[in-house]
Amino acid sequence: MIKEGVLGMTHEEMKKRDEEIFRRMRASYYGDNVTWVDKMGVPFPLEMYKELFPLHHYVIGKESMDYWEELRETQWLRREEILKLQAEKLKKIIDYAYGNVAFYRKRFDEAGVSPADIKTVDDLRKFPLLSKDDIKNNDLTSHVEFDPGTMLHVHTGGSTAEPLEFNCDKKQLDYRLAAFLRLMEWTGWKWGDREMRCWFATAGDGYKYPEIEKRDAFLFNRIFMSLYTLDDESIPAVLQEIEEKKPYVMDGYAEIFNCLAEYMKKHDIYLKVNAIISSSQTLTPKSRDLMMKHFSCDVFDKYGCREFSGIANECEKHEGLHVNAENLVVEILKDGRPVEEGEIGEVVITDLNNLATPFIRYRVGDTARFTDRSCSCGRGLPLIQNVEGRIQAIIQGTNGRYLVGTFFPHFVKDMKGIDKFQIRQDKFGEAKIYVVKNKNYTEDEMHEAIEEFRKYLGEDMKFEVEAVDDIPLYRGKRHHSISTLDFKFNQ
C-alpha cells in the first residue's frame, strides 16, 4: 500500500530513534519502567498528540490540528459561503494544474478551456472528465519538485481495485486527518475516547510500517481488530474482545458489523458501544437496524475511497451524507449533466488540496443519488442522499434500463429461502445468479424473483441459477452484483 516513507531514514533507523524519544516522553509522563504498550488505553492529552508529530505520522503534521479547528468552523457556513470557499480553492488548483502538469495543460487546451474560465464551482463543468485510464496511461504528477519527505506515494491494487499510482501531498493528508476527526466528533466521540477499527486482513495485506501505526494508535486510544474470517467459530471471541475493550466507537466494513449483528440476533446477545462508523459497502436499512439494536448504538454511514479517503459522512441527524466540501468538489452526473433531486448518477470528484497529483473531475467509479436538501443539523455542507454502489455492480437490461448494486441486497432480504446471493453479468442480455439456499428454498420463489428482475431489465433477459455452498467475502466485501460489462454513465 504505502511504498515509501519519509524523513530520509530507513525504517529501522527511524524506529530506533523514535523508540528512544518515545521512551523518554513516556517516562516523563507516566514514570519510568513502563513500556508504551503497557499503558494502552490511557488517553494522551491532545496537546501531547500534537507535540509528537511526526513521531506517529510519516507526513501528516501539526497543521492537521489547525485544519481540524478550521473544518469545525466551516461546517456551519451557509451553502453559498461554502460554494464561495470551494470556488476559491478550485481556481487555485486549476491554475496550478494548468501551469504545472503537462497532461492537464494539453487537455484543457484541447477542450478550449482555460483557468480563467473558473469563476464558480459550476464552471468546473466546462473541464473534461478524468478516467482511471487517463491516470494509468499518463503522467499526472506535478513537475514542481516536491520533497519526497512531504509526500505519500500510494498505489492501489488487488482484484477489487484497479491498479493506480499517485502522490498525496502533505496538505491533502493533513486535511484528510482533519476531516476524519470532524467525522469522529459527529458520532459524539471526544478526544481520548476509545476507537476500535475492524477490518479484514488478508495475507500480504499487513502494514509496512507497523511501528508508527502502533504509536499513533496508542496516542489516539485506537485499537485494531484484524479479522481473517468471520464465522460462527470466530465470532464469539470477537464479541468478547468488544465487551472487554469497550470501544466508544467502532469503525470498519459494513459487512463485518452486519455479520456480527446477525450472529448476535441469532444468539440473543447485546453489547454496548456508542457509535459504529460503517464504510466500504452499502449499509442496508435492515443491517443498520440490527446493528443499532444489538450494539445499542448509533450507526454512521461513511463513504470514502483510497484516492481521497473520506468523501462524505452522515452526521447525527442521518439525513444523507455530508460531503467534505472544503476538501472536495463532488459532482453527480448523468450524460454529462448534474442529476436532479433523487436521481442516480456517476460520482465525479475534484480534490481541492492535492497539488502533487491533481485530481480534476475524476470518475471515481461509484454511483450515488443526489439531493439538494439541507440537513436539519444546520451544517451547510452539501449532501449526497446515498451511495448506490460501484459502477461495476450495475446489471444492464436488454431494454436499456439497469439495476444498481444496492437494488439486490434490498430485494434479496425478503426472499425467505436464500441465505446468500450474487448476480453476475459477463454478457449483454444474460446474467448468472449464485445462491446459497436454506431449507425454505422453493423454485417458485426463485422464479418469482427472476420474473421481477425481468420487469426491470427486459422480458428477454436470460438468467441462469446455480446453487453454491458459499459466496465468499472478498477483502471483507460480499458483492451482491458484479458486472464485467462496460457501462457508460457519462459519454
> Among the candidate windows 1-9, 60-68, 310-318, 327-335, which touches Zn ion by CB under 5 A?
310-318
Q: What are the backbone dihedrals phi and psi of residue 471, each rounded to the nearest 5 degrees, phi first?
A: -115, 100
The answer to the question of residue 323 lying near Zn ion (CB under 5 A) is no
User: C-beta of 254: minimal distance to Zn ion in Å?
Assistant: 20
Q: Could you tell me the maximum CA-CA distance found in the chain, to the nearest angstrom?
A: 75
In the bound state with Zn ion, the residue whose beta carbon lies nearer, of 65 and 283, is 283
The answer to the question of residue 317 lying near Zn ion (CB under 5 A) is yes
> Among the candidate windows 37-45, 204-212, 221-229, 315-323, which touches Zn ion by CB under 5 A?
315-323
User: C-beta of 71: minimal distance to Zn ion in Å?
Assistant: 14
User: C-beta of 182: minimal distance to Zn ion in Å?
Assistant: 12
In the bound state with Zn ion, the residue whose beta carbon lies nearer, of 26 and 379, is 379
The answer to the question of residue 78 lying near Zn ion (CB under 5 A) is no
CB 363 within 8 A of CB 348: yes
In whole angstroms, how far apart are CA 341 and each of 69, 118, 203, 332, 381? Answer: 32, 25, 43, 11, 16
The answer to the question of residue 315 lying near Zn ion (CB under 5 A) is yes
User: C-beta of 302: minimal distance to Zn ion in Å?
Assistant: 14
The answer to the question of residue 184 lying near Zn ion (CB under 5 A) is no
CA dihedral 438, 443, 446, 451 (to 10 degrees): -170
User: C-beta of 322: minimal distance to Zn ion in Å?
Assistant: 6
Number of residues that bind Zn ion (CB under 5 A): 5
User: C-beta of 378: minimal distance to Zn ion in Å?
Assistant: 7
Give residue 299's identity as a one-letter amino acid code: V
Q: Which of 77, 377, 465, 471 binds Zn ion (CB under 5 A)?
A: 377
In whole angstroms, how far apart are CA 25 and each of 59, 192, 199? Answer: 21, 18, 31
* End-to-end Cα spacing for the chain: 32
In the bound state with Zn ion, the residue whose beta carbon lies nearer, of 85 and 377, is 377
DSSP letter at 45 equals: P
In the bound state with Zn ion, the residue whose beta carbon lies nearer, of 317 and 447, is 317
In the bound state with Zn ion, the residue whose beta carbon lies nearer, of 119 and 317, is 317
In whole angstroms, how far apart are CA 195 and each of 23, 41, 208, 408, 422? Answer: 24, 10, 22, 32, 33
Q: What are the backbone dihedrals phi and psi of residue 171, each rounded to the nearest 5 degrees, phi first?
A: -65, -40
User: C-beta of 276: minimal distance to Zn ion in Å?
Assistant: 18
Question: Which three three-digit cell numbers place residue 442?
Answer: 422453493
Burial 143-168 (b: 16+ CB within 10 A, else e): eeeeeeebbbbbebeeeeeeeeebbb
The answer to the question of residue 384 lying near Zn ion (CB under 5 A) is no
The answer to the question of residue 77 lying near Zn ion (CB under 5 A) is no
The binding site for Zn ion (CB under 5 A) comprises 315, 317, 375, 377, 379
